[in-house]
Structure 1
Amino acid sequence: MKVKSIIPRDEAHWHELRAQHIGGSEVAALFGLSSFMTPFELWHIKKGNIEAPNLDDNERVFWGNVLEPAIAKGIAQLEGFQIRKVHRYLSSEDVPGMGASLDYQIINHQRGTAPFEIKAVDYLEHRDWPEENGVKTPPMKYALQVQSQIALLNSKWGCLGALVSGNTPEKFNFDRHNGVIAKLSGGIEDFWYSISTGKEPEPDFNKDYRTIEQLYGPDANSFEDRTGDDQLLGLCAAYVGAREDEKAASKSKEALRGKIIKRIGKKARVKVDQFTIARGAQFRIIEKAQSGEDGFESYELPSLPDTSKTFLNKPKDLGQIASIF
């Protein structure tokens, strides 16, 4: 893949570059696999119809940024990696609108250079990671992010480093998967084509109602009589009915909780088929996803023969050697 390396002039320029590309943290949203953004929301953000979420006050984002250098340094030290902070933005010339802002880059490795993505993961998030043979594995959104970065670095492999619960380091290596990269490239091309033609994706009304509220903010003092609009009438009636059902469901949920606790007695954790009942600070019932559910097996990442090419437009400098440490 032919890649252009861009030095952002300032933070505003970096945000401008991000607005023009589908970055590594956004590729999962193209396939409905993102936990924080739907395809509908992503489309309207890139179209310029709504503002991207402001995460300045998000505690997870704040602490992730603060801890990122320490996590990178610690895992690199444990693994014997030599790394450098990446200060440039990578933009594909073969797939216009595909880009990435890497955390770090592994250098002088026997397998060649590789992206080094860093995550600070709390207990609640890690608890919901998928499992393979009893071992926790990263969610597909992280795997796709690393594959996107591998493509833009023309690397043979990539690495995800995570610090779980503040004291448990985990490292996951990903071989280059050309099938996944082709899928990502095609999805990005289709996305920008839909932007140019104005064809928005269908909203998921269970998740996109806040985005819809932003898109259709009310005009002050506007009024319209829609008497005779049977579809709108039906929606209003359904909304009022759902509101009443919500009250009844809350009472039913409390009753069921009491029955479950009486059934299991004082046990803190109970497994019954695909369900796990957990009682601690909170009462939770966790249902294990069936094979392929939630898309976890849609993009398997097995080892494949290396078909990567040399970096055709390699930047002279992708950052200083871990100078921030």
Structure 2
Amino acid sequence: MSAAAVRVGTFEPGSAEWFAARASALGGSEVAAVLGLSPWESRFSLWHKKKGSTGPTDDNDVMRWGRWLEEPIARAFAAAHPEYRVRRSGTWASRARRWQVATPDRLLSSLTARALLEVKTAHNTDEWGEPGTDEVPIYYRTQALWQLDTLGLSRAHIAVLISGSDYREYVVDWNIAEVSVLRDAAREFLDTLERDERPDIDEHTATYRTVRALHPLIDDVEIEIAPTLAERYRTAVAEHKAAENAKRRAAAEVLDALGSGRRAVVACESIAIRVPGTGDSPPSLRPSPIRSTPQKVSAAA
């Protein structure tokens, strides 16, 4: 490895040792949460994990299958790229910023180049662009950029298996404008930990889950809350119910328009699809994924 990084050790992802190595640092999978870009972690939930006030996220089937499929996907990449030596990696820390750590899935080396490999699985093609490009989900882009910056490398390959059979490869190159945003955001986040400055509560599912975990007991007492908070909660509940009713009506209208058809389209764009029901249940309507434009990391993020 280059002189830009020092090896910290080899830890099982998600293990106590793995979390201990990151306790006062930030890894590639955490940077997206700092910027508010992660679908799994919020800035609020990550802050509390770093403070030790909540535990790590419970293991689940998606996480387990991701780990189990890592090796065969890495083998597929190695078979497609005989020019590279593909080897496992440990955890590394930047020599310049010891709070910046990375645990790439694989390190790649050839006679003329060094790179890293990230292995992913996905349910569908949402947010994945044309294979061979850098059009990957923004949270994976931040991870790749962070790891490249930590290790002093310039290119990351991302191998993804979509829907269990669609194998694709993408490439992300180090970019000083983007990694500068990541560095600044990460340092500012770590400073809030030192100042014991809790992030604001936001709408992320991980934030709601964290607040629940912070108060596991129920004391039979009344707590006076601010009238403005009470009104905001009541308004949100009413708007949620109204939105559910509006969605139910719109779904019924689309189903009625489809008749026995399978897919609803507008100008060749799929809007919704009828899917078989379970058992004796009739078909139901499922919305088609809304494709988003691949993003780059920016200060506005």
Report the number of matched residues: 283
Separation (CA, whole Å) in 2 of partners of 1:138 and 1:162: 10
1:289-300 correspondence runs (5 A): 289=292, 296-299=295-298
Q: 1:273 to 1:298 in 2, by over 3 A?
A: farther
Q: What's 1:261 paired with?
A: 255
Report the Cα distance in structure 1 between the residues aligned to 2:223 and 2:287, rounded to whole angstroms: 46
The alignment partner of 1:14 has SS state of helix
Indicate the residue corresponding to 2:147 in structure 1: 149
**How far 1:197 sits from its partner (Å)?**
1.0
Q: Distance in 2 between matches of 1:8 and 1:278?
A: 46
**Deviating more after overlay: 40-49 vs 270-279:** 270-279
Match of 2:199? 201
Greater mean alpha carbon deviation, residues 253-262 or residues 112-121: 253-262
Residues 148-178 of structure 1 deviation map (CA, whole Å, 9 limit, x = unaligned): 1111221121111111122221111122212
Alignment match of 1:272 (pick from 266, 274, 284) = 266
SS in 2 for 1:74: helix
SS at match of 1:20: coil
C-alpha distance in 1, partners of 2:10/2:108?
21
The Cα offsets for residues 102-125 of structure 1, whole Å up to 9 and x where unpaired, read as 210111153x211111112223xx
Structure 1 match to 2:34 = 30
2:95 paired with 1:97: no
TM-score w.r.t. length of structure 1: 0.76
Tell me what 2:160 maps to.
162
Q: Give distance in 1, aligned partners of 2:144 and 2:88.
A: 16
Are residues 1:46 and 2:50 paired? yes
Verify the 8 A CA contact 1:114 1:153 in the aligned structure 2: no
Indicate the residue corresponding to 1:322 in structure 2. Answer: none
Q: How does 1:1-325 map to 2 (within 5 A)?
A: 2-8=4-10, 11-55=15-59, 58-80=60-82, 81-86=84-89, 88-108=90-110, 110=112, 112-123=113-124, 126=125, 128-131=126-129, 137-205=135-203, 207=205, 208-218=207-217, 220-221=219-220, 223-224=221-222, 226=224, 231-232=226-227, 235-236=229-230, 239-240=233-234, 242-243=236-237, 246-272=240-266, 276-281=270-275, 282-289=285-292, 296-299=295-298
Q: What residue in structure 1 maps to residue 279 of structure 2?
A: none
CA separation of 1:70 and 1:97: change in aligned 2, threshold 3 A: same
C-alpha offsets along residues 168-207 of structure 1, whole Å, 9 cap, x if unaligned? 2111112221221222111111111111111222221453
Q: CA RMSD in A?
A: 3.0
Residue 225 of structure 1 and its aligned partner are, at CA, apart by 6.0
Range with greater deviation from structure 2 (22-31 or 271-280): 271-280
Give 5+ residue unaligned stretches, structure 2.
Answer: 276-284
CA shift in 2, pair 1:99/1:256, >3 Å:
same
Q: Deviations over 1:275-301 (max 9, x none)?
A: 741213242154454x6xxx824449x
Structure with greater contact order relative to length (CA < 8 Å, sep ≥ 6): 1
User: With structure 2 as the length reference, what TM-score do the two structures score?
Assistant: 0.82
Distance 1:156 1:239 in 2: 48
Name the CA distance, whole Å, in 2 between partners of 1:131 and 1:160: 12
Find the aligned partners of 1:63 and 1:194 in 2 and give their Cα distance: 34
Change (3 A) 1:167 1:225: closer
Deviation for aligned residue 1:271 = 3.5
Deviation at 1:50, TM superposition (A): 1.4
Q: Distance in 1 between the 2:11 and 2:130 partners?
A: 43
8 A contact 1:129–1:136 mirrored in 2: no
Contact 2:178 2:296 in 1 (8 A): no
Task: State the secondary structure of the residue aligned to 2:158.
Answer: strand
